[in-house]
Amino acid sequence: MLTFLPAPVRGVIASLLLAINTVFWCVLLYIPALLKLIPIHGWRVLCTRVIIVISECWVACNSGWMRLTQRTQWDVEGLDDLKREGWYLVLSNHQSWVDIFAMQHVLNRRIPFLKFFLKKELIWVPVIGLAWWGLDFPFMKRYSPEYLARHPEKRGKDMETTRRACAKFRTTPVSVMNFIEGTRYSRAKHDRQKSPYRHLLRPKAGGVAFVLDAMGDALNETLDVTIAYPDGRPTLWEFLCGKVTRITMRVERRPIPEPLRRPDDLESSHRGQVKLWLDELWRAKDDQLDGLLGVDVQD
């Protein structure tokens, strides 16, 4: 254990271990990722499973350096009866870059590997961008309303991208992850949005509606994840330095309402139904965070 070292030294060591671990497993992952280009369905499924095993090893090694350099107390509930061979829609609040490491650490090898929707530009991130491509992470190019007004032929292209990505998810168990606030929480963003929630930004229904429209019939259920940092939201550097003393996480299995799994033909109607469902989840999550953070709402 290296927890006796000064925090900046631990941060440097953790950063180096993270970088070495990422480069090693990503380079190894490139081999089956390139072999997956061979257009044989069964072969591609096999390569995908090998890629997932490699990715889970990467997360396991991240957990190793976390235990080596940190004394974080983990308060986690709700991991019973999770399935590695299931299909999950995973929804979570988003407060820090630490959220991703925390969720991977807790959920690794308990459910299928978490897959995120990413901006198209992120495919060019050195080392890990190609790994994301090999993992079939969906790369999305979103168009603004102003752009679509000038180029109406692009309308619906993002939905086509989602459908193609989700078609790959049907052959191998997957956990489709969505931070539905769209960005990390901050008080400034909360105030700018005039969010009706105490600890959360407004949920955005678009991404979830796309996933449910593309593969709602294949998803088993929702995993509603709530992450709290009782001692304050940390930065990534504070996490690497071992300054995050407590991380609290609650994982709740929830059914996906049947009308949302099989949407009607009206996109706007479906998105409205998804928004109502997410608003209900978010109200319950906001109340839960009061308890996890020890907040007295009457104060």
List, as one string, the DSSP characters of 166-215: HHHHTSS--EEEEETTSS---HHHHHHHT-SSSS-PPP--HHHHHHHHHH
Provide the CATH number for the domain formed by 73-293 in this structure. 3.40.1130
Q: What percent of the chain has pLDDT over 90?
A: 63
Give me the residue spans of the domains in the chain.
73-293
Strands (E), 2-87: 73-77
User: What pLDDT, on the 0 to 100 scale, is given for residue 158?
Assistant: 65
Q: Residues near 104 by Cβ (< 8 Å), separated by ≥ 6?
A: 59, 62, 114
Whether residue 299 is predicted with pLDDT greater than 50 in this model: the reply is no
pLDDT tens column, 158-185: 667 667 777 778 788 899 999 999 899 9
